Amino acid sequence: MNIAIFCNPWASILLSLLIAPVALAAKNPVEIPKESRQSSYQLMTPENQAMQDDPNLNPAMFWVMDGHSFWQEKAGNQNISCASCHGDSGKKMAGVATQFPKVIQGKLQTLEGQINQCRTSRQEAPALIYESKTLLALSTFVASQSKGMPIAIKETPQNTKDLQQGKQFFNERMGQLNLSCAQCHQERAGLKLGGSLIPQGHPTAYPIYRIEWQTMGSLQRRLRNCMSGVRSKQFEYGSTEMAQLELFLMWRARGIPLESPGVRP
């Protein structure tokens, strides 16, 4: 056997699946009970928890402050700001981030997508590039207004189709390693991958500051990282597929408090 497989944490998961076929992902894995759901915050060291909890230590607060500045900045042909419609403080956004992705005028929209929709239709300004400083800062600022509020995604007649598609993406194997999201974050949550505990995969703290990245990143960036890890073609930023997977993940995490802006290793 090629010893290189032991140097690749994703490959070690693949090896465990080959050795223990009885543990292969079921077509419809059992949902994690509400009382057993947990944020990956609970798996962090006390030092990293303290970094997230203390606004003076949390590096993501720089993005919150930048986001507040962008919130008040006039843009586009209409020469208006986000604050022109939603107020200077952003407090009217309390609870908004807990409800995204959501169907708006027949289209499933993520929080970042809705910010861009407002820019192009209300401000008549160019859409912001995904993972750009401005879009990350604005989405972090908006999400921070809902900190501590429970994720409130519900299945509705409008989102059922997208929710079911997102569930399929979560459960289906992909990439050269032939792994699914469910195999790591449902069946093996709490076990170790490359020396680190595997979280349940609830997106409770996005946009998030990852120490590994040394910057902020969106949930879509994290999902693309996982797809790259299993050697799969990545969904495009802002795509319908990304929104559908986000929707399922947020529905799966319903009831857990939103932590944004979070910190993770």
What does the pLDDT look like over 81-97, one tens digit per residue?
999 999 999 999 999 99
Let me know whether 139 and 241 are in one domain.
no
pTM of the full structure? 0.89
Split into its structural domains, the chain has a count of 2
Let me know whether 35 and 86 are in one domain.
no
Residue 4 lies inside a defined structural domain of this protein:
no
Let me know whether 158 and 253 are in one domain.
yes
Within 10 angstroms of residue 27's Cβ, the number of other Cβ atoms is 7
What pLDDT shows up at residue 34? Answer: 86
Residue 231 belongs to domain spanning: 25-53+152-264
Grade residue 28 by pLDDT with cuts at 50, 70 and 90.
Answer: low
Structure tokens at 192: 């170790």
The domain that holds 106 is classified in CATH as 1.10.760.10
Give the separation between CA 72 and CA 88, rounded to whole angstroms.
6
Let me know whether 175 and 230 are in one domain.
yes
Let me know whether 181 and 247 are in one domain.
yes
What does the pLDDT look like over 60-118, one tens digit per residue?
999 999 999 999 999 999 999 999 999 999 999 999 999 999 999 999 999 999 999 99
Grade residue 32 by pLDDT with cuts at 50, 70 and 90.
Answer: confident
Grade residue 196 by pLDDT with cuts at 50, 70 and 90.
Answer: confident
List, as own/partner pairs, every contact residues 11-15 make where C-beta atoms lie below 8 angstroms and the sequence separation is at least 24, other chains included.
Answer: 11/177, 12/193, 12/194, 13/177, 13/179, 13/183, 13/184, 13/188, 13/193, 14/177, 14/178, 14/179
Mean residue pLDDT across the chain? 91
Residue 38 lies inside a defined structural domain of this protein:
yes
Give the separation between CA 13 and CA 188, rounded to whole angstroms.
10
Grade residue 24 by pLDDT with cuts at 50, 70 and 90.
Answer: very low
Let me know whether 185 and 235 are in one domain.
yes
- Residue 179 class from Cβ within 10 Å (0-12 exposed, 13-18 middle, 19+ buried)? buried
